[in-house]
């Protein structure tokens, strides 16, 4: 068993830096930004080191302050958690505000988001997860409003009310779990669950947790904030929230499902919400008139697909979900960057391919991948999903059919937009719109997608091993309980 105290670094470094940053910003105007970037870099290096250790020596855990689980607070890192911590780090680095403004506010919030997000996936304790979830939530309210527009404040406020109500429901679920099991340590719960959390109390607790954490995971039906926030927040924040933070919440839901509530009714709930999310998202995206809300709605649909994948019992479903989540984390931010160039009606895209052929080509590439056209990575992710779904019960066959039908609708609206890009007369929004510097992250992500296409085999093997590790409940429980020795 593997005890690694450094597990705290990905959480602690950014949080400490977040508190120091305003002070640093006071000292010198430009210093805050450099300090923030440096903190992200250090966090990334620490996380990468930890990920390396975890990949080599197996899952690690550590009890804070020497208090052993189940009384103490435990962090647990396996390959899955580390992959998403690294993803979050890279995302924060890539989507760091590019402007020359010297406000330290957004930087502080980004660092808070980084620390909170890492804590969210590394925590081995239900209540800790709740606390980190709230940290992430508060940071994202602030970030969503950081564009400075009035609509941004309004959207952020409405998002806050919704999310806080969700958090309250989640807390209620935690209370139920505690009432039934008398502990909140995930490993403890995993061992106790078969006795005390089966049947109605467990299902109710899972439902409340699902709805609560589902707000951030863009689950149906608590995702109505999505189009509004994504339309009014700065594009980098949108990319971060849609691309990465939503996945962290889903990973947490996955942990609950695998460790604490592995029962048919829980899987059924997640599956139902996932299917409804796909339907709602794809259909609404088809009717959206501007690119931004198109991608917001389609993001809901894709998270629904990931939810469907996670609702398939066994490592195959988890692997499919991870692959879909990683793919979406690469594609969706790039989409939002393109949408940011062409705010408003899709008809404004008209003739865009002539002024910015590279952007148009990138758009088509991303579209093809997200629809799932071989040999792009999106196809293999979808392949894993169908593979897992078809080897499960017939309810999942229905889900697979919905996902496939959704892909057709997706193709319809994405290529309607591509049609405006390539066809039609130019509408006067010419070369001035295309500033390559602002689209660098999008092109980086496009390049990642292309590289991943040639590395499907190793990626697939890695994701599968990750999923097998994440599905191995006894090993996780043992590691968490023994951590801190």
- Per CB under 8 A, 380 contacts another protein: yes
Handedness of CA 339, 341, 343, 349 (dihedral sign): negative
Q: Give a three-class secondary structure readout of 207-263.
A: HHHHHHHHCCCCCCCCCCHHHHHHHHCCHHHHHHHHHHHHHHHHHHHHHHHHHHCCC
Interface with another protein includes 176 (CB under 8 A)?
A: yes
Q: Which is nearer to another protein, 50 or 288 (CB)?
A: 288
Q: Which is nearer to another protein, 42 or 284 (CB)?
A: 284
Q: What are phi and psi of 77, to 5 degrees?
A: -125, 120
State the helix-helix crossing angle for 105-122 and 126-144, rounded to 10 degrees. Answer: 160
Extract the tokens encoding 222: 């608590």
Q: Which is nearer to another protein, 80 or 180 (CB)?
A: 180
* Residue 23, C-beta contacts closer than 8 angstroms, at least 6 positions apart: none
CA angle 9, 11, 14 (to 5 degrees): 90
Out of 38, 401, 440, 451, name the contact with another protein by CB under 8 A.
401
- Binding string, 60-99, against another protein, x = CB under 8 A? ----------------------------------------
Residue whose CB is less far from another protein, 6 or 224: 224
Q: Does 203 bind another protein (CB under 8 A)?
A: yes
Helix (H, G, I), strand (E, B) or coil at 440: helix
Residue 436 binding another protein, by CB under 8 A:
no
331 binds another protein (CB under 8 A): no
Are 114 and 40 contacting, i.e. CB atoms less than 8 angstroms apart? yes
The smaller minimum CB distance to another protein, of residues 53 and 429, is found at: 429
Our finding on whether 422 is near another protein (CB under 8 A) is yes
Q: Residue 57 CB, nearest distance to another protein (Å)?
A: 26
Angle, alpha carbons 238-83-185 (nearest 5°): 100
Tell whether residue 231 is a contact of another protein (CB under 8 A): yes
Footprint of another protein on residues 350-379 (CB under 8 A)? Answer: 368, 371, 373-375, 379
- Contacts with another protein by CB under 8 A: the residue count is 107
- For another protein, the closer of residues 48 and 165 by Cβ is 165
Site string for another protein, 146-165 (x = CB under 8 A): -xxxxxxxxxxxxxxxx-xx
Stretch that binds another protein, among 74-82, 188-196, 250-258, 385-393 (CB under 8 A): 385-393
SS3 99: coil
């Amino acid at each position: 068993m593997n005890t690694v105290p450094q597990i705290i670094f990905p959480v602690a470094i950014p949080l400490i830096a977040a508190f120091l940053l305003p002070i640093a910003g006071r000292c010198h105007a430009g210093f805050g930004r450099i300090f923030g970037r440096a903190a992200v870099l250090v966090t990334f290096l620490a996380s990468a080191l930890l990920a390396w250790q975890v990949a080599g020596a197996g899952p690690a855990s550590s009890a804070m302050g020497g208090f052993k689980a189940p009384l103490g607070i435990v962090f647990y890192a396996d390959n899955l958690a580390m992959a998403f911590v690294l993803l979050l780090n890279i995302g924060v680095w890539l989507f760091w505000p590019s402007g020359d403004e010297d406000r330290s506010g957004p930087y502080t919030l980004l660092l808070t988001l980084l620390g909170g997000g890492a804590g969210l996936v590394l925590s081995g304790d239900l209540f800790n997860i709740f606390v980190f979830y709230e940290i992430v939530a508060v940071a994202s309210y602030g970030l969503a409003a950081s564009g400075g527009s009035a609509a941004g404040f309004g959207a952020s406020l409405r998002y806050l009310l919704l999310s806080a109500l969700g958090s309250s429901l989640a807390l209620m679920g935690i209370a139920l779990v505690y009432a039934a099991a008398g502990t909140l340590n995930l490993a403890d719960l995993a061992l106790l669950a078969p006795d005390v959390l089966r049947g109605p109390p467990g299902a109710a607790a899972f439902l409340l947790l699902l709805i609560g954490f589902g707000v951030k995971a863009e689950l149906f039906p608590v995702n109505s904030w999505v189009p509004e926030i994504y339309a009014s927040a700065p594009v980098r924040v949108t990319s971060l929230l849609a691309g990465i933070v939503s996945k962290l919440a889903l990973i947490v839901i996955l942990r609950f499902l695998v460790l604490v509530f592995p029962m048919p009714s829980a899987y059924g709930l997640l599956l139902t919400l996932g299917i409804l999310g796909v339907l709602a998202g794809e259909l609404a995206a088809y009717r959206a008139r501007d690119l931004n809300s198109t991608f917001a709605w389609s993001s809901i649909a894709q998270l629904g697909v990931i939810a469907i994948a996670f609702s398939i019992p066994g490592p195959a479903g988890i692997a499919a979900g991870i692959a879909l989540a990683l793919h979406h984390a690469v594609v969706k931010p790039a989409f939002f960057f393109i949408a940011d160039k062409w705010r408003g009606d899709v008809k404004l895209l008209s003739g865009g391919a002539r002024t910015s052929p590279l952007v148009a080509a990138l758009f088509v590439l991303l579209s093809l991948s997200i629809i799932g056209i071989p040999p792009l990575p999106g196809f293999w992710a979808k392949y894993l999903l169908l593979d897992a779904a078809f080897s499960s019960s017939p309810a999942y066959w229905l889900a697979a059919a919905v996902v496939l039908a959704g892909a057709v609708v997706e193709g319809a609206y994405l290529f309607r937009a591509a049609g405006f890009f390539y066809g039609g007369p130019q509408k006067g929004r010419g070369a001035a719109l295309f500033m390559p510097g602002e689209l660098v992250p999008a092109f980086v992500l496009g390049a990642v997608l292309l590289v991943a296409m040639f590395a499907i085999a190793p990626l697939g093997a890695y994701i599968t091993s990750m999923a097998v590790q994440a599905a191995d409940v006894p090993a996780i429980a043992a590691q968490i309980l023994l951590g801190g020795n």
